[in-house]
A and B are shown apart, each in its own frame.
Chain A
Amino acid sequence: DAGVTQSPTHLIKTRGQHVTLRCSPISGHKSVSWYQQVLGQGPQFIFQYYEKEERGRGNFPDRFSARQFPNYSSELNVNALLLGDSALYLCASSPSGNPYNEQFFGPGTRLTVL
């Protein structure tokens, strides 16, 4: 079975630009979460979506937005990129979004902002 997939693998942008990251969850999983992992740190929660509705939002500015599609795939959008947005962006899926669910992580998208 395919795991969580993310695209693109790597991305280089300049300050002020916009970026869209994509995630496909494991088949049958209805919850998708996004995390930002800055080098040397643990992942920080950005968003959780379940059944196409936002279930949780972390402490990130409004420049960050996301959505989930009817097939449960998801996009993370970041506007007006800053140097500090450079990080590994992880997508994780789980069956129902309950707190006891294991989250299955994708390989991440490495975003570099110049």
Chain B
Amino acid sequence: AQTVTQSQPEMSVQEAETVTLSCTYDTSESDYYLFWYKQPPSRQMILVIRQEAYKQQNATENRFSVNFQKAAKSFSLKISDSQLGDAAMYFCAYSGSNTGNQFYFGTGTSLTVIP
């Protein structure tokens, strides 16, 4: 079975600084997709960034980028120039070609942004 592990329950960052959230996963599939979702307090979960496993190039979306290490099964999220609005729970998620659109989520990292 696929598992997703986020080893950092809580992280904090100074406003305008950079922070990296860690995620590792375990799978025997060769074709899969990885996602980072953000869940602000009492608000809906929204997609931050997505990575296709077959692509070697790391995905980037404005201030958000990933470090995808396929051999190590690692998928970390880097947030640059952190803003107060980045404060939220961040979930790493996995979706495999053999499991349809079923997402496997990690336990989340709570990010605090310090003004």
By a beta-carbon cutoff of 8 Å, the part of chain A in contact with chain B is 3-4, 31, 33, 35, 40-45, 48, 50, 55-56, 58, 90, 92, 94, 97-108
Contact = CB atoms under 8 A, between A and B. Distances in A.
A98 B100 contact: yes
Interface of B: 4, 6, 31-33, 35, 37, 43-47, 50, 52, 91, 93, 95-97, 99-108
Nearest to B107: A42
A92 B37 CA distance: 13
Contacts of B33: 99-100
A101 B93 CA distance: 12
Nearest to A41: B107
Contacts of A48: 100-102
Contact of A101 (B97, B101, B104): B101
A99 B93 CA distance: 11
A106 B91 contact: no
10 contacts: A33-B101, A35-B105, A43-B45, A43-B103, A45-B104, A50-B101, A56-B100, A92-B103, A99-B33, A105-B46
Contact of A94 (B32, B45, B101, B108): B101
B105 A99 contact: no
Contact of B100 (A90, A99, A105, A107): A99
Given A33-B101, A56-B100, 8 more contacts: A31-B101, A35-B105, A42-B4, A43-B105, A99-B31, A100-B95, A103-B101, A107-B43
A45 B103 contact: yes
